[in-house]
């Protein structure tokens, strides 16, 4: 299986964390006054960015990659703070949050499922790990904010988009497509489904 050799570059992982934290902080900012204050926004942003990857590594029996270097936490906290500032500047940019959100689930889904395949997991568990990586951050976000969990609603297509994208990725890897091509395709499938859901849903 060609996935065995895959190494996720640090910058790709940090990019997904940055977008996740930014999106989490922007999301939480909408609930200021009512549910969370500034510190809460920073914590939720950081948790959204790091949650999926930490859950993924705990499930795979590894010390979370985010704890192996100073980069992940530093980047996640800075991105969350940036999200708080961006919220003040652009507080009508709901579309921007949506695109970031779609990109986060696409990237985390691809990273999680390729990592699971590389560790020798079978196809269905690899898709599962990809979905958990993709939606873990937002589920943690909703749990910490005591909100209904967005992932579970058909209309949001969160889980459906992540599941479809990672299933395409895993299938492609299993039939011999190079991992990088499979990962790009899987990410695009997830992003497109999620954006179509928001556009027409």
Provide the binding-site residues for a copy of itself, judged by CB under 8 A. Answer: 35-40, 43-44, 54, 58-64, 66-70, 72-74, 116, 121-125, 128-129, 139, 143-144, 146-149, 151-155, 159-160
Smaller CB separation from a copy of itself, 67 or 181: 67
Q: Smallest distance, Å, CB 14 to a copy of itself?
A: 14
DSSP sequence for the chain: -GGGG----HHHHHHHHHHHHHHHHHHHHTTBTTTB-HHHHHHHHHHHHHHHHHHHHHHTTS--GGGSSSHHHHHHHHHHHHHHHHHHHTTT-HHHHHHHHHHHHHHHHHHHHHHHHHTT--HHHHHHHHHHHHHHHHHHHHHHTT---GGG-GGG-HHHHHHHHHHHHHHHHHTT--HHHHHHHHHHHHHHHHHHHHHH-
Q: Which is nearer to a copy of itself, 44 or 195 (CB)?
A: 44
In the complex, what is the shortest distance from the CB of residue 92 to a copy of itself, in angstroms, rounded to a whole number? 26
Report in angstroms how near the CB of residue 102 gets to a copy of itself at its nearest.
18
Tell me the helix, strand and coil percentages in the chain, rounded to 5. 80, 0, 20
Of the pair 110, 159, the CB lying nearest a copy of itself is at: 159
Q: Which residue has the tokens 């589920």?
A: 139
Q: How far is the CB of 142 from a copy of itself (least distance, A)?
A: 9
Closer CB to a copy of itself, 119 or 184, in the complex: 119
CB of 164 to a copy of itself, least distance (A): 13
CA dist list (Å): 115 to 10, 25, 120, 123, 169: 13, 27, 9, 12, 12
Task: Quote the least distance from Cβ 2 to a copy of itself, whole Å.
Answer: 20
Q: Choose between 44 and 97: whose C-beta lies nearer to a copy of itself.
A: 44
Nearer to a copy of itself, 30 or 93 (CB): 30
């Amino acid at each position: 299986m060609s996935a065995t050799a895959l190494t996720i570059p640090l910058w790709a992982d940090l990019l997904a964390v940055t977008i996740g934290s930014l999106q989490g902080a922007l999301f939480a900012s909408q609930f200021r006054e009512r549910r969370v204050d500034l510190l809460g926004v920073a914590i939720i942003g950081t948790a959204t960015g790091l949650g999926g990857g930490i859950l993924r590594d705990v499930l795979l029996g590894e010390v979370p990659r985010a704890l192996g270097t100073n980069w992940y936490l530093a980047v996640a906290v800075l991105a969350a703070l940036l999200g708080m500032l961006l919220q003040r500047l652009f507080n009508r940019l709901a579309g921007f949050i949506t695109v970031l959100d779609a990109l986060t689930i696409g990237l985390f889904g691809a990273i999680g499922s390729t990592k699971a395949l590389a560790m020798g997991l079978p196809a269905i568990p690899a898709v599962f790990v990809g979905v958990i990586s993709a939606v873990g951050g937002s589920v943690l976000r909703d749990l910490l904010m005591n909100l209904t969990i967005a992932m579970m609603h058909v209309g949001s297509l969160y889980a459906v988009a992540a599941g479809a994208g990672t299933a395409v990725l895993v299938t492609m890897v299993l039939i011999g497509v190079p991992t990088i091509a499979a990962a790009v395709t899987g990410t695009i499938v997830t992003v497109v489904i999620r954006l179509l859901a928001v556009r027409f849903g």
